[in-house]
Structure 1
C-alpha cells in the first residue's frame, strides 16, 4: 500500500519480501556508520526480529521509493510513557510521534532525497495520525542529518547525554521536535 506519493518520492508499506532490502542496506558498513553502527550488521534473522517481530502498536513502517527504486526505510510511531518521561513531555497531553529513517543507497546521498523525505513525511503523522509533535533523537556528531532536520522545521529541544549505544559506546543525542502550533504548545 502506498502511504504517500509526491513527485519522484513515495513511501509504501513495509512488506515481508522487503527483508532482503533491509539486509542489503543494514549490512553495508557505509550505511551502518550512521544507522545502527558498523558493529551491528543485520542478517535476515536480525532484520526479522528488529523490523517484523518487534512492532509496537501504532507503528508505521515503510520503504522509501525514489524514481520507482526502493532506496530507504522510514518508520513513525506514538512514543510511549517511558519516552515521554525521558524526553521531558510528562505534562504534555497531546499526541507525540517518533520518526526514524535512512537512505540505504549511499550513491543517492547528498542529492536532497533525505530532505524531501523528511519534508513530505512529517505531513503524514500530523494529518493522518493527528500528531501534535514529532520527535527524533539524532546523534550529536551527525551534523548532516541535523542540518536536514532543521532545514525542514525541526528544532533542538535538549541534549540527551549518553543516550544511544553506537559502535561500542553510548553517544550523546539531540532531542529535536517538529510541532503543530496549538495553544498548549
Structure 2
C-alpha cells in the first residue's frame, strides 16, 4: 500500500470490480480513457483473474480517499509498459467517481505513484498520453511535474471526430529538483 495525506493506493480487490465497471460504462468517464466500448462485469472479472500474470509493479492500483474512519474507492491508477533497460514506464489513471473530480485527488495520486516509481522502482522516466481536450487531467499532470513532449495530431477517433493526443513526461532529475 502507498499512503499519502488522506489518500492511499492499494491493490484492486474483487469487491471493487462492480464499481469499476460502473465507471467504465459511464460515457462521461469513458470518453477520457483509451477504452471506447462498454465493459461487462464478466469481462472485468476475466481481466482481474489474469492480474497475477503481470509483474507486480505493473498491476493496477485502487485509489481510496479517507472518509472519517473509512476509505472510499474513487478511481484506479498504475504503471505499465515498464522497460527495465531504459528504466521507463507509462502512467495511467482514472478518477471514476465523478463527485470527486476537481478536488486534487488525481494530482495527489499521480504524485504518489511518481514518487513510488522513482524512489522504489528506480525508474528514470515516466510518460503518459492524454487527450488534448482533457484540461482537468492536463492540469493535474502539470502540477505533478509532467511537461508536454509531443502531440499526436488526430491521434484518436471518437464520436465521429478526431482528437489530438498529447504525450507528457517527467524525468527523475526534474522531479528531484522540484522537490527541493
For structure 2, the residue ranges without an aligned partner over 5 or more in a row are 175-180
* Deviation of the 1:167 alpha carbon: 4.2
Q: Provide TM-score, normalisation by structure 2.
A: 0.81
What residue number does 1:111 align with?
Answer: 103
Distance 1:50 1:102 in 2: 17
* One of 33, 42, 46 as aligned partner of 1:45: 42
Contact 2:14 2:48 (8 Å CA) reproduced: no
What residue number does 2:81 align with?
Answer: 78
| Structure 1 residues 40 and 99: CA distance shift in structure 2, 3 A | same
Distance 1:95 1:167 in 2: 36
Equivalent residues in 2 for 1:133-148, closer than 5 Å: 133-148=125-140
Q: How many residues are aligned here?
A: 168
**Which aligned segments of 4 or more residues in structure 1 are displaced greater than 6 angstroms?**
none
Larger helix proportion, structure 1 or 2? 2
Contact 1:126 1:132 (8 Å CA) reproduced: yes
Q: Provide TM-score, normalisation by structure 1.
A: 0.79
For structure 1, the residue ranges without an aligned partner over 5 or more in a row are 82-92
* One of 10, 21, 24 as aligned partner of 1:23: 21
| Structure 1 residues 126 and 52: CA distance shift in structure 2, 3 A | farther
* Deviation of the 1:168 alpha carbon: 5.3
* One of 31, 34, 56 as aligned partner of 2:32: 34
- Whether 1:154 aligns to 2:146 is yes
Contact 1:60 1:76 (8 Å CA) reproduced: yes
Contact 1:36 1:166 (8 Å CA) reproduced: no
